[in-house]
Structure 1
Amino acid sequence: MRDVATAAGVGLATVSRVFSGAPGVRPEVAERVTAAALRLGYRRDAAASSLRRADRRSGTVGLIMADVANPFAAVLHRAVEDAAVTRGVLVLAGSSDESAERELAVIEAFRSRRVDALIVMPSGGTDAALAEMCAQGTPVVSVDRPLEVPAARSVVADNRGGARRAVSRLRALGHRRIAFLGDRPDLWTARERLAGYTEAMGGEVDPALVVRGLAGAEQGEQATQRLLALPHPPTALFTAQNLLTTGARRALQDRGEQRLVAHVGFDDLPLGDLLDPPVSVVAQDPARMGAIAARAAFALLDGDGGIPPCTVLRTQYLARGSGEIPPGLRAG
């Protein structure tokens, strides 16, 4: 910085103000400082700068998703990043793979880098570590699933209501044998979506049509093949996770039954509206979820204690065609 100050003909404090974004520097002076830094190849050391700040902030936020490659997580990630960039904050992202052990490792990696706040899709089993972060003054906001940590905040969707309304629509069409394909039973979202399905079905749930503990498109496809091969197969499918929806649709198309068996998925999926018939879904809004979570994290960072403990976002049913197929079209 001293070399930059000398080359630009200004004081060291002026260079510091330019690179910290502080006010009070004339535009022509800032331009001269920036040009000198480019000539000299100077790069601001963010880690060293954070040590000099009174608040010790690093200008980073940690984001932990189950899988950053999942389309839902990718949209949420981008929303957090869009909110962070307006504050000059960098987002560090990692995947937990729904493993508490891996999630703890990512949490510790972010703590060692002194992230200013943490946004996490909790897999379960990490509450103690997250509570410790809160106790040390680091804001923690959970997304998609609530967090049982008093000082943390949560932003979730109305999973139970969305599932209940979707399955009720299938029943209104006349379907009674509606299969449920779900994620891990220990996940809050999976339990809530099953609860919504059960409420809509009333006393007509056939245990043979409820399949839980599935992970990924391949398992969703295999489970669907088994269900459709039953002596009394379902006339409709409710797949409670987007990768399971992909797998189920593959199975239907492999059997040529995508126009004979009704199908509704929870979460939208890429190009789902371009299939024939398009896939009807219970759509969440991951962009809104990410934006609200980021705003909550920054508000807590700024000392705003008025953020509600849990924000619940309503889902939207997108009737595209696959969920509007009536029963009785499939022989046998």
Structure 2
Amino acid sequence: MVQVTTSRRYASVTQDGAGVMEARGARREPTMRDVAALAKVSTKTVSRVINDLPGAGPEVVERVRAAARALGYRPNLTASSLRRSDRRSATIGVLLEDLSNPFDAALLRAVEDLARQNDVLVLAGSSEDDAELQRELLTSLATRRVDGMVVMAAGGHQDALQQERERGTPMVLVDRPPTFDGTDSVTTTNRDGSRDAVLQLAGLGHRRIAFLGDRRTLWTSQERYNGYLEGLAHAGLTLHEGLVRTDLHGPDAAENATEILFDLEEPPTALFTAQNLVTVGAMRALRARGLHHSVALIGFDDFPLADMLEPGVTVLRQDVPALGRKAAELVFARIAGDHSPPTHAVVPATLIRRGSGEIQFPNDRDDSRADVLAQQSR
């Protein structure tokens, strides 16, 4: 029988009256040796049971586990990973741009859900789209011996990611593809979705469609801008350079850029905003000027309460849970030993019509060409 007694000054665990562990005046974590003494087995047997290795009978396994529970023993996973033949730490690293962004937060949650099913802990951080900070975080995760990584690459060169991948760390890039070989990635239909959004706006009679985008160094920004250009070309519209605003990081920058657009002598009649925080800033500016019922807007990426505004915000919604789930599946497959060729998975974005992207240009409601373009966008 295992008996546990405690007091403010000391804690002792006894079996048949024999003291096994005592700590006075300071907290001490029970060790594998303490578990072995209480269970009356060797430390090697305790190690086998704790690490789910064969070699111990059912009665011994139960005795060791009972002793571990009684002591409150917690295995040192870092030390255990050094002893295990597969050297795994039961952790993965997730590096995203900004965990306060609803998109990144939802992506992390999707990875966490699958990691939990695999009894794996997630260590996460924000690179803030800073290549040097990303390098520091990569090093920090590597020194903690994570089994694999899911990374949203910072803009610019990917040397640090390539070096870590070449060291053998399983890695999946999410949202943005790698610029080097041998690495899995998961992205969405950035260019196609953006083209279709512009075609919808053109189909409603809009001829001056503005583009507001995130930093130009980001692959996603480049793809969405290229989709915008393709949409204009397909609709037979002229690109007006003065209606393009890029390198907008955050809602405040987007709000200011939108204000400037509507101070133009010929302002836009529709906006395509290529990132969720940019959309938030643009909506603020429209509402401040009372233009939210007369200027059409389609944003890339959904955001909380977008459907609660009046009008609701039309968006190209990425299937963020599917993106995160696929990235997690790929990294766990690589950790398990999958050596198949690299995969580039594409999860389609969906146009969610809520009202803001369906506002027609007043002077062009009956344009038959607009109807044709609207059909093309569907």
TM-score (structure 1 length as normaliser): 0.93
Q: What count of residue pairs does the alignment treat as equivalent?
A: 329
Structure 1 residue 231: Cα displacement: 1.3
Partner residue of 2:339?
305
- Cα RMSD of the aligned pairs, angstroms, is 1.9
**Superposed displacement of residue 136, structure 1:** 1.8
Task: Choose which of 286, 303, 309 in structure 1 pairs with 2:320.
Answer: 286
- For the residue of structure 2 that corresponds to 1:183, the secondary structure is coil
Where does residue 136 of structure 1 map in the other structure?
A: 167
- One-letter code aligned to 1:91: V
Q: Assess if the C-alpha contact under 8 Å between 1:265 and 1:282 holds in 2.
A: yes
Write the letter of the residue equivalent to 1:276.
E
Residue 60 (1) aligns with residue 108 (2): no
Once the two structures are superposed, the pairs formed by residues 160-309 of structure 1 within 5 Å of their partners are 160-202=191-233, 203-306=237-340, 308-309=342-343
| Structure 1 residues 96-135: aligned runs within 5 Å | 96-125=127-156, 127-135=158-166
SS at match of 1:2: helix
Query: By how many angstroms is 1:255 displaced?
Result: 1.3
More moved, 7-16 vs 196-205: 7-16
Question: Counterpart of 1:50 in structure 2: which amino acid?
Answer: S
> 1:32 Cα shift?
4.8
Task: Go from structure 1 to structure 2 and tell me whether the alpha carbon gap of 1:125 and 1:209 turns closer, same or farther (over 3 Å shift).
Answer: closer
State the alpha-carbon separation in 2 of the partners of residues 27 and 279 from structure 1.
60
Counterpart amino acid of residue 216 in structure 2: P
Deviations 1:61-98 (A, max 9, x none): 11110001111111110111111112211111011101
Identity of aligned residues (%): 50
Aligned-pair CA distance for 1:3: 1.5
Secondary structure in 2 aligned to 1:57? coil
CA change 1:2–1:251 in 2 (3 A) is same
Q: Matched residue of 2:185: which SS?
A: strand
Decide whether the 8 Å contact of 2:186 with 2:327 is kept in 1.
yes
Structure 2 unmatched ranges of 5 or more: 1-31, 364-378
Indicate the larger mover: 178-187 or 79-88. Answer: 79-88
1:285, distance to aligned residue in structure 2 (A): 1.1
* Offset from partner CA, 1:76-130 (integer Å, 9 cap, x none): 1011111111221111101110111111111111111111111110013452222
Deviation at 1:263, TM superposition (A): 0.8
The answer to whether the 8 A contact 2:183-2:342 is kept is: no
Per-residue deviation, residues 121-174 of structure 1 (Å, max 9, x unmatched): 001345222222222211111000000121111111110001001111111111
Deviates further, 78-87 or 7-16: 7-16
Match status 1:48 vs 2:82:
no
Report the 3-state secondary structure (helix = DSSP H, G, I; strand = E; otherwise coil) of the residue aligned with 1:124. Answer: coil
Q: CA deviation at 1:19?
A: 2.7
1:246 is paired with a residue of what secondary structure?
A: helix
C-alpha distance 5-265 of structure 1, shift in aligned 2 (>3 A) = same
Cα distance change on mapping 1:221 and 1:21 into 2, 3 Å: farther
For 1:23 and 1:291, how far apart are their aligned partners in 2? 32
Q: Hey, what's the Cα distance between the residues in 2 that align with 1:23 and 1:179? A: 65
- What secondary structure, in the 3-state scheme, does the structure 1 residue paired with 2:138 have? helix
Are the aligned partners of 1:104 and 1:126 in contact in 2 as well (CA < 8 Å)? Answer: no
Shift in CA distance, 315/9, structure 1 to aligned 2, threshold 3 Å: same
Residues 171/24 of structure 1: CA separation in 2 closer, same or farther (3 Å cut): farther
Distance in 1 separating the partners of 2:333 and 2:215: 33
Q: Residue 156 of structure 2 contacts residue 217 of structure 2 at CA under 8 Å; is this kept in 1?
A: no
Matches within 5 A, 1:69-84: 69-84=100-115
Segments of structure 1 that go 5 or more residues without pairing to the other structure are: none
State TM-score, norm by structure 2.
Answer: 0.82
2:356 to 315, 322, 325: 322
CA separation of 1:205 and 1:41: change in aligned 2, threshold 3 A: same
Query: Larger Rg: 1 or 2?
Result: 2
Counterpart AA for 1:147: P
SS in structure 2 at match of 1:93: strand
